[in-house]
Amino acid sequence: MSINKTAKAATVTVKLVRSVAGVRSSHRATVRGLGLRKLNSVSVLEDTAAVRGMIAKVGYLVNTL
């Protein structure tokens, strides 16, 4: 039995649309964990429950594309 390694995993694209200045440090850390640094930066991530939870936590700072 072989496993197909060419199957593409679902992805989600996240864009930072609001500054992290003045927000909670845990929210800043979550934004950083999503791979976002500066305003309007974009990150393509694997669509997992953990990533969805992170996006929900800082939903007021990011947009999903």
**How much is the average pLDDT of 32-52?**
97
Name the residue range of residue 35's domain.
21-64
Total tally of structural domains belonging to the chain = 1
Q: Taking a C-beta distance cutoff of 8 angstroms, is the pair 53, 45 a contact?
A: no
Q: Does residue 41 sit within a domain? A: yes
Residue-level pLDDT at 48: 95
Q: Does residue 1 sit within a domain? A: no
The CATH number linked to 55 is 3.30.1390.20
Q: Does residue 43 sit within a domain? A: yes
pLDDT tens digit sequence for 2-31: 455 566 789 999 999 999 999 999 999 999
**How much is the average pLDDT of 48-60?**
97
Q: Does residue 45 sit within a domain? A: yes
Residue-level pLDDT at 9: 82
Q: Taking a C-beta distance cutoff of 8 angstroms, is the pair 28, 61 a contact?
A: no
Q: Does residue 26 sit within a domain? A: yes
For the question of whether the overall pTM of this predicted structure is more than 0.95, the answer is no
